[in-house]
Amino acid sequence: MSKARQIADYAGTTFAPLASPTFTGTVAGVTASHVGLGNVTNISHSAMFSSPSLTGASQFTGGIVEKVGTASNSGSTLTVDLATGNFFQVDLASNSGNITTFTISNINATSNQLSSFILKTENSASNRNFTWSSLTNIAWAGGAGPDLTAGDGKIDILSFTTYNNGTTWYGAIVGQDFT
C-alpha cells in the first residue's frame, strides 16, 4: 500500500490521546522548556540543601519542626550552642547558684540576618535565678530581666533574638509559672 493511500485512509479520523504512556529506555531531545521548566536551573541535591534560602512568600503546612539543642549548665554558668539547635531545655537543679554567666555560642556571623532561640528552664527546690545585671549583652523591656518562678519543677520559657550577630540579645518572656 502506498504512503498516499495510508494517509487517505486516516483522513478525518480523530485519535484519542494516550492516557498514561510509559517510556522505557532513554528519551532523547526533551529539554526543560519542553515540559514547562524553561526557567529552572539544574542543581545537585547536595548544593541545594547545603545552604537553603527562601525568598518571597513561603507557606509551610504541617507545622515547623525544630531541633532541641545542646545546653550545659553547672556552677553558676549556662551555655547554649546554636550550632546544635534553637530550642534549649535546662534543669537548674545542677547549678550550685544563680546563673551569672550565660554563654551563647556559634552565633550566625552573616550580616543582615537575625538569630533567635527559646530557653525552657525548670527550677529546683533551691530556687535558682539569673543575675541579669551581670549579663550586659541581654536587653529586656523595661530594663530588667525577669525573676524565674520559684519552686521545684516550675517552668519558665524565655525567648532571645539578636539583630547584630550577638552584640545585643533582646530577651522576652514567652510564659512563666508552668507546672
Checking if the pLDDT of 161 tops 80, the result is: yes
In a domain, 32, yes or no: no
Lowest mean pLDDT segment, chosen from 58-62, 89-93, 162-166:
58-62
In a domain, 144, yes or no: yes
For the CA atoms of 67, 68, 70, 72, the dihedral, rounded to the nearest 10 degrees, stands at 160
In a domain, 30, yes or no: no
23/169: higher pLDDT: 169
In a domain, 14, yes or no: no
User: In this predicted structure, what is the pLDDT of residue 51?
Assistant: 67
In a domain, 56, yes or no: no
In a domain, 55, yes or no: no
Cα separation, 159 vs 139, in Å, equals: 12
The residue range of the domain holding 86 is 70-178
Average pLDDT over residues 1-22: 68
Checking if the pLDDT of 135 tops 80, the result is: yes
Number of domains in the chain: 1
pLDDT in tens, 66-87: 889 999 999 999 999 999 999 9
| Per-residue cell: 123 | 527550677
In a domain, 9, yes or no: no
In a domain, 160, yes or no: yes
Checking if the pLDDT of 52 tops 90, the result is: no
Question: Mind giving me the DSSP string for 66-113?
Answer: --B-EEEEEBTEEEEETTS-SEEEEEGGGBSS-B-EEEEES----TT-
Checking if the pLDDT of 39 tops 80, the result is: no
